[in-house]
Structure 1
Amino acid sequence: MTDYTIRLATVDDAAVLARLRWRFQVEDDGEARRDEEAFLSDCERWLRDRLTGSWLIWVAEAGGEICGHVFLNRVEKVPKPAGGADELGYVTNFYVVPQWRNRGVGRALLDEMREHARVRSMDTLVVWPSERSAPLYARAGFQPPLELLEFPIHPA
């Protein structure tokens, strides 16, 4: 039995998700280039707009608090006469707070997202993993692409 649950986020979660986004990025980058309150306001507004559109966010909740999340942007594909999948998914902003890591939370979030993609018959899930998250994605079945070209405009 787990002591957390996985569910889809709602617009009511936007403020908490914005705070976790701040925490995730500061933890990952080691610094902040923006004022925290301005970022939180902008990010919360962005999340509220996206949660009623093409974005889905799964959250892990324990004791009434969100302790992790993964974002999925559904990307439409151009219809083909032969049929096939109408969407692919861009996976991003995968984060579990430190005290909940290595307890199955990240894997449970990915499993819920992958099941959603399977039920919707999505073509592919795409992710640009960090060095730290790449092993978890690999354990969850993500593989290097066989067919992918990119043209970096502003590489990180």
Structure 2
Amino acid sequence: MSDVVIRRAEFDDVPALAAMRWRFKVEEDGDEVSRDEEQFISECEGWLRTRMAGPWRVWLAEVGGRPCGHVFLCLVEKVPSPNPGSDELGYVTNFYVTPEHRNRGLGQALLDEATSYARAHRLDTLIVWPSERSAPLYRRCGFGRPDELLEQPVAPR
């Protein structure tokens, strides 16, 4: 893995990030994707530029200088408390490694970067809703089931 680089994504990386988001969703949703690729990528680029200037942090994996994976971390403010502790937690999402680069340690390296950032910035907790396929990686990296998390889906299905 000597030709692997894991780094914070920059605004110049937005086109590659948007293209990988398309690839990720096509792989995940298959025939259910109903949007035009070019239109989606253009809209996604605008969304990324705005969010990366705000609460979103993104790490990019490159092999041989070519983007092949990413992980997103959204900083979520907590209501202030009189007790000491962090005022933010992190929501980990949009974690993707291209199929041809999987099982080479890139996913763990990306997640390690996000976790290092969380520790360095004293975030309270990292949360994630893993897919069945990604859950073992998250568990290997220290994520576990919380005792009290509750979820209520509200979007129509």
Partner-residue secondary structure (3-state), 2:74: strand
Provide the C-alpha distance between the structure 2 equivalents of 1:94 and 1:155, rounded to a whole number of angstroms: 24
Provide the C-alpha distance between the structure 2 equivalents of 1:2 and 1:86, rounded to a whole number of angstroms: 37
Residues 82-129 of structure 1, C-alpha deviation per residue, up to 9 Å, x if partnerless?
Answer: 121111000000000111111110000000110110111111111011
* Uncovered stretches (5+) of structure 2, i.e. residues with no partner: none
Partner-residue secondary structure (3-state), 1:21: helix
Partner-residue secondary structure (3-state), 2:60: strand
Q: Structure 1 residue 40 and structure 2 residue 41: aligned?
A: yes
Which residue is 2:12 aligned to? 12
Q: Could you say if the C-alpha distance between residues 155 and 59 of structure 1 is closer, same or farther in structure 2, counting changes exceeding 3 Å?
A: farther
Which residue is 1:119 aligned to? 120
Q: Structure 1 residue 154 and structure 2 residue 126: aligned?
A: no
Paired-residue identity, %? 62
Partner-residue secondary structure (3-state), 2:154: coil
* Uncovered stretches (5+) of structure 1, i.e. residues with no partner: none
How many residues of Structure 1 are paired with residues of Structure 2 in the alignment?
156
Q: Could you say if the C-alpha distance between residues 138 and 80 of structure 1 is closer, same or farther in structure 2, counting changes exceeding 3 Å?
A: same
RMSD: 1.2
| Worse-superposed segment, 20-29 or 77-86 | 77-86
Which residue is 1:130 aligned to? 131
Partner-residue secondary structure (3-state), 2:3: coil
Which residue is 1:84 aligned to? 85
Provide the C-alpha distance between the structure 2 equivalents of 1:37 and 1:132, rounded to a whole number of angstroms: 28
Q: Could you say if the C-alpha distance between residues 117 and 155 of structure 1 is closer, same or farther in structure 2, counting changes exceeding 3 Å?
A: farther
**Structure 1 stretches of 4+ moved >4 Å:** none
Q: How does 1:13-28 map to 2 (within 5 A)?
A: 13-28=13-28
Provide the C-alpha distance between the structure 2 equivalents of 1:83 and 1:138, rounded to a whole number of angstroms: 28
The one-letter code matched in structure 2 to 1:110 is L
